[in-house]
Structure 1
Amino acid sequence: MSSRRLPETTAYVRVTGQSWQKGTIEGEVTAGNFEWQFQWRFTAEKTLILEPSQGRALIQEPLHRFL
């Protein structure tokens, strides 16, 4: 039985803007060859918007934990 390590990638998060009045934080995430723009609305609905959609599943859950 071989013990294979899963590949690891470090993601970098940069906040480029925030508005406490609107309840939003905006920024970008880079990981490997991917780059996403995000907007987190932390008011009552707590919505996370990530663009582009390609590779979104890789970063959505970890970004939720970070925010």
Structure 2
Amino acid sequence: MIQFDGISRPYSAQKNNIEDFYRTGGTWSNTLALNKSFDGGTIRLSANDVHNNSVVPNSGLNRQSF
């Protein structure tokens, strides 16, 4: 089989290629919120952190918002 670089290599199945590629994913979300009410109104401060590991390597999401 001619590969992307123009070199001919044998085409054969790779052992455990699916198990070696995918991984266990997970998502973590942390939020902190401070709220203060007084006679003149209300003030709120919020911070959020999201960390996501996708099942596919080199993909996912890391986000912080304030």
Q: TM-score, normalised by structure 1?
A: 0.35
- Flag the structure with more relative contact order, 1 or 2, with Cα contacts below 8 A and sequence separation at least 6: 2
Larger radius of gyration: 2
Question: Whose helix fraction is larger, Structure 1's or Structure 2's?
Answer: 1
Q: TM-score, normalised by structure 2?
A: 0.35
